[in-house]
Homo-oligomer: A and B are copies of this chain.
């Protein structure tokens, strides 16, 4: 078994409204910052042991499907690094 860190990035699908990100962007503008757009995402770093990087990525993908993301409104991306 090897120790891996799987990073799961969870973001709203394109077209799903994100009022929180919109509010954050507007608040930055009110502070005087110029920006075109702001998007927010959640990042989960999961330390796990697996036989291979592919195995770790697969397990992290299942975690995203089952709990970390809501497949109806979210896309997610898994990357794996040895720890």
Report the Cα distance A47→B33, complex, angstroms. Answer: 12
Contact A43 B42 (CB under 8 A): yes
Residues of A within 8 A of B (CB): 3, 9, 11, 21, 24, 27-28, 31, 33-49, 59, 62-63, 66-68
Give the residues in chain B near A42, CB-CB below 8 Å. 40-43
Nearest-CB distance from A23 to chain B (Å)? 11
**Copies of this chain present:** 2
Report the Cα distance A36→B5, complex, angstroms. Answer: 9
Give the residues in chain B near A21, CB-CB below 8 Å. 44
Contact A44 B24 (CB under 8 A): yes
Give the residues in chain B near A44, CB-CB below 8 Å. 21, 24, 38-41
